[in-house]
Every structure is written in C-alpha cells, then in structure tokens.
A and B are shown apart, each in its own frame.
Chain A
C-alpha cells in the first residue's frame, strides 16, 4: 500500500514542476512589457529600469523561475500589479468563493447524474433510458455560459424570483449560511451542476450496463438474491469509478467556472482571472492559474489514492 502511495506521489511531483513551468512561461509568452499596466506612458527609462529591478524582471529567466518557485513554496505568490496586494491572499479569498459554488454544483450534479445514470443503465432501451440519454447529450452540449444567461432570464429577468448577480445582499463583502446569502448561490450552482451531471450520468450508465452484463450478477440472481440485493452489489462495484469521476469534476469546475462566474459576477477565481487578464496583471494571472492547476493535480492524486484504497485491484494495475 505504502509503495503504491509513494509511486503515485513520485509520479505527480514532476507534473507539478511542469505545471509551475508552464504558469511561469505564460507571463513571458505575453507580448509587451509585464509592467506596461502600471508604468505611465511617459515614464523615463530610469523609472522603468527601477521598477523592473523591484519586480525582479531584470534577472535571467532560470533565476527568476527558481526564485518564483521558492517563494511560491513559502506561500508568497508575489504582488498584484494592479492592486498592490499580495496575490496569495487575493487568490485564497477567491478560491474559497469558487470552492463553495463548485462543491454545491458537484453535489447536485452527482446526485441527479447518478439517478439518471442508474435508471438508464438498469432499464436499457426503455423510455427512461432514452430520456436520460437525451438529457445527458443536452447536458454535455449546452454552452454553460449561455445556460447561465437563460437562468437569469427565466428566474430573474422575467419572474424576479432570485437575484441575478453578486454573492450577497451587500455585494461580495461577507458571507453567511442563510437564505439571504444562499439565494445568490442557487442560479450559478444549478447552472454549473449541468457540467458534472451529464458526464456522471454517462459514466454511471456505462458502468451499470457493464456490471449487469457480468457473470457474477447471473450467479447472484441464480442463488436467489432479491433485486434489492443485486442492486447493492451493482452500487458497490460502480461506486469507486463514479466517485473518482466526481472528484475529477470538482477539480475541473474549480478551474472551469470562469465563464459561469462572469455571467453571475460571482467573486471567485474566474472573476479574478478575468480582471487579471484585462488589467494585464501578470503576477495575479500567473498565481491564480498556478493555484487552480495545482489544486487539479493534487485532487487527481487524491482521487487516484482513494480509488486504489477502495478498490485494491486498481493499485496492482
């Protein structure tokens, strides 16, 4: 078990280093001077050089990379060029908001997707299967930012039932677990839940169909096990993969929520990325992407480990 664990971690470490390199390269891929957004257009060459030294842009690239990684490992992602605040605290704040949304969306998507998937897999070829298949095709085909707009139109513009944008009655300043604040989460979370729902429904349908076709199911039926008993075995066999997909989807939503957050003006990582891009705030862009990508890698690793704990057959593979 320990060796499996170490092997997974050893496999993830170079990927993390690579991800850091890509994030670092992004800034130097960008055309123009990274300081262009804060330097006044008539800045003297002297001032520009001073700023460059201050931000460390005058050092050789490999040296900059090592210094950047070293600081990042110590929780220092640099200073936002636009706001002058530490990138790490801005990102942490935003990740909290996005995580809240992504967890709710994944939960909704997992519950509904599993139900659809189970029904479809159990009754293959019947109308519930066709309905579930149709819904999951619609789910993976829908442009989710447009779905967000439709949600706003239906539940806010036309009916006025729910607030359309923001994260609370007083903007995004505070959060509390009550209806006053919770209603702001409903539309973005429902919109976001469509992404994992379609994928989980497809996965669970395929899993259930595959499990039901296996010989041990016939064996269980032959020994007189009730449908409920067989169902329990199907769930037990489908659960590790379904949970793994759910974990990956959560990581995916953390990084993939930018478009939905834009529609709902949700103050999460997507919002942060958006402002970083349009203000050309490269340290903020770099830091946000690094944190999100690392989250995704770590989540992948955790899913791998949990999956091999749940299902020893995988660990050997």
Chain B
C-alpha cells in the first residue's frame, strides 16, 4: 500500500521541481520529470496503460468467446471449471466478457470528454477572448445547462433521446461541454490580460493570430488537465446509463450493462454479480489519480 501514499513522492516531486526550475529545461520537460517522480501517478498510469492494452487486444486475450452462452452453465461460481471468474446469467464466461468489455466501456467514457474538450474549449476561448456581449450570451446559456445536476441532465437527455450508444455519447458530451467551457473561458480571460497579448495587439496582430500564437499554448494545458479530471466521472456516468438500460444494448459486453443484467443474480452469486463494478471502480481510481498527479505536476507555482 506504500505506493498509494502521496506524501513522500510529493516531496520528491517538489525537489525535482525546484531543480528543474533552476536548470530551466522547458516547461513541459519539467512537468514530465515531476510526473515521473510521482509514484502514485506512475502506478495509476501503468493501470491506465494496462486497461488501454486490454481495450486494444481484448478479443485476442480473452480465453473464451464473450458471446457464447450456455443454458447449462449459468451463474457458475468464481473458480468453476473453465470459468475462472464464473459465468453470467446466460452462461457466458465472465472473465472474457470483462476483458472484451474494456474497449466499449472505455470508449463510452472517454469519447464524450474528448468531444467536450474540443467543443467546450472552442466555445470557452471564443467567449473569454471576445468578451462583451458575446461573452455574456455564451456564458449565460452555459449557466442554464450548468444549473442541472450532471447525473440528472445525462439521464434526462438519454431518456428523451432513447437508448443507444450514439445517444449516450451525445448526452454525456452535452453534460461536459458547459463544464469545460467555463474553465476555458476563465483561463482565456486571464491570458488575454497579459502584457504579451497587449504587445502583440499593439504591433498589429489580428485576433486570430493572437489566439493561435499567444493564447492557445497557454490555455490548452490547463483546460486539458481539467478535462482529464472528468474522465472518471464520465466513465461512471456512461456505465450508469448502461446500468439503467439507457446506454449500450445487449448482448454487447459493457461493464455497466453487465452489472444491470447480473443484478438478478445478487442473491445466488453475489461475488460474480459485483465483479463488473470492480472494473469500473479500478478504472475510475486510476484515471482520478493520474489526473491528480498531472495537475500537481503542472502546477509550477509550487
């Protein structure tokens, strides 16, 4: 459990950080060094890499066919002959379904954040840089969506649009765009007030050039770090939608949907029924810790 203690690596990271500042090897290199020195973040990063590996190579790694059901071998316990992690309510090998389900589960959780990162950054940077009535119009609209608790908005949108992968991705993107746009607007407004932006404008640069050359490089980093902190939330919400029957449809293997169908087995095979949730939990912890590590590595004030 020592690897999960944040205090010691933080001290190491700080030492590395101050050394890095003295040598001044460039901002991103020092961020990388601080991140490498953060043992918790590195461990989380390894877990994320392993999950991405499962997502890419899952179909070849799974010991059995995740769709092959067997009426005679339903709800086998963990460790049963040929079923290392038991079988589900249709007699499909749970280990294989968990492995193959990684791809769809990660896709459903990460895609909305990436889409919202692109759209939200664009909206936020526009609002932050334009200022004035453009800013007011955009930000007041965003406030309206911000006024919904995210779970409620996600479920309301998916509920109205209907179940399915595309609708689930769409709803979650709409949930995260306002959150990212708010952060993007704040950092852009801050960057806009800097002297070098003033200098660029004084020397005749147009708005587009200023944003591309002087603003983007300074705001995309912080917005990206914020976006990474949303991945865990998005994964939980995405599998939550599937858990409610609003996301991925059967028989596709996806962790939230697996939890939903295994709920009936809660009294007969409780340990097997809880397993898909363990995958969601581990994934979300790993993304949260990695995002925390990234944030403190990018915080060059420390």
Across-interface contacts of B155 in A (CB, < 8 A): 258, 273, 277
Across the A-B interface, the 6 shortest Cβ-Cβ residue pairs: A146-B277, A18-B144, A255-B152, A277-B159, A255-B149, A256-B151
B159-170 Cβ-contact flags toward A at 8 Å (1 or 0): 111100000000
Between B4, B149, B243, the greatest number of chain A beta carbons within 10 A of the residue's beta carbon is seen for: B149
Chain B residues closer than 8 Å to A141, beta-carbon distance: 232, 236, 281, 284-285, 288
User: Which residue of A15, A134, A278, A285 is within 8 Å of B143 (Cβ)?
Assistant: A15
| A293:B152 contact, CB within 8 angstroms | yes
Which of the segments A27-35, A50-58, A72-80, A84-92 contacts the partner chain? A27-35
Contact (Cβ within 8 A) B267 A157: yes
Judged by a CB distance under 8 angstroms, whether B42 is at the interface is: no
CB-contact partner of A30 in B141, B149, B162, B240, under 8 A: B162
| Complex-state Cα separation, A296 to B239, whole angstroms | 24
B274 CB contacts on chain A under 8 angstroms? 146, 149-150, 153
Residues of B within 8 A of A241 (CB): none
A residues sitting closer than 8 Å to B (CB atoms) are: 14-15, 18-19, 21-23, 26-27, 29-31, 125-126, 129-130, 133-134, 137-138, 140-147, 149-150, 152-153, 157-158, 251-252, 254-256, 258-259, 262-263, 273-274, 276-278, 282, 285, 289, 292-293, 296-297, 300
B150 in contact (CB, < 8 A)? yes
Contact B160 A137 (CB under 8 A): no
Tell me the minimal C-beta distance from B176 to chain A in angstroms: 15
Is there a chain A Cβ closer than 8 Å to B270's Cβ? yes
Most A CB contacts (10 A, CB to CB) among B141, B148, B152 go to B152
Given contacts A18-B143, A278-B245, contact A292 B232 (CB under 8 A): no
Name, among B6, B159, B266, the residue most crowded by chain A CB atoms within 10 Å (CB to CB).
B159
| Bound: A144/B90 CA distance, A | 25
State the main secondary structure of chain B at its contact with A.
helix
B263 to chain A, nearest CB (A): 7
A143 near B7 (CB under 8 angstroms)?
Answer: no
Q: Tell me which residues from 1 to 52 in chain B have a Cβ below 8 Å from any Cβ of chain A.
A: 4-7
Q: Is the CB of B161 within 8 A of A296?
A: no
**Per-residue interface assignment for chain B, residues 81 to 106, with 1 indicating a CB less than 8 Å from any chain A CB and 0 otherwise:** 00000000000000000000000000
- In the bound complex, do residue A273 and residue B273 qualify as a contact, i.e. CB atoms below 8 Å apart? no
Q: Are B156 and A26 in contact (CB under 8 A)?
A: yes
- Give Cα distance in the complex from A274 to B7, angstroms: 44
Q: Are A15 and B266 in touch, CB under 8 angstroms?
A: no
Minimal beta-carbon separation of B213 from chain A (angstroms): 33
Q: In whole angstroms, how far apart are the Cα atoms of A285 and B157 in the complex?
A: 10
Bound Cα distance A138, B282 (Å) = 9
Q: Which one of A130, A150, A153, A282 lies within 8 Å of B5 (CB-CB)? A: A130
Of all chain A residues, the one with the shortest Cβ separation from B286 is A141
Q: Which residue of A lies closest to B140 (CB)?
A: A14
Q: Determine if A31 and B144 form an interchain contact, defined as CB atoms under 8 angstroms apart.
A: no
Q: Which of B144, B149, B281, B289 contacts A146 (CB 8 A)?
A: B281
Of A29, A143, A282, A293, the contact of B148 (CB 8 Å cutoff): A293
State whether A30 and B160 are in contact (beta carbons under 8 Å apart), knowing that A141-B288, A150-B277 are contacts in the complex: yes
Asked if B147 and A30 sit within 8 Å, CB to CB, the answer is no
Expressed in whole angstroms, the minimum distance between the Cβ of B261 and any Cβ of chain A is: 12
Listed A/B pairs (10) with beta-carbon separation below 8 Å: A27-B160, A140-B232, A141-B281, A141-B288, A144-B236, A149-B274, A158-B270, A273-B155, A276-B159, A282-B160
Return B101 CB to nearest CB of chain A, in Å.
14
User: Is B246 on the interface with A (CB-CB < 8 A)?
Assistant: yes
Are B7 and A129 touching (Cβ within 8 A)?
yes
B145 on the A face (CB < 8 A):
yes
Task: Give Cα distance in the complex from A282 to B130, angstroms.
Answer: 39
**A196–B292 alpha-carbon span in the complex (Å):** 19
Question: Which one of B259, B285, B292 contacts A149 once the chains associate, using CB atoms below 8 Å?
Answer: B259
Taken together as a complex, chains A and B put the C-alpha atoms of A300 and B144 apart, in Å, by 13
Whole-angstrom CA separation of A255 from B4 in the bound complex: 33
Across the interface, name the chain B residue whose C-beta is closest to A154: B270
Neighbour of B147 across the interface among A133, A138, A142, A300, CB < 8 A: A300
Q: Say if the beta carbon of B200 comes within 8 Å of chain A.
A: no
Q: How far apart are the CA atoms of A282 and B160 in the complex, in Å?
A: 8
B64 within 8 Å of A by Cβ? no
Complex-state Cα separation, A26 to B167, whole angstroms: 13
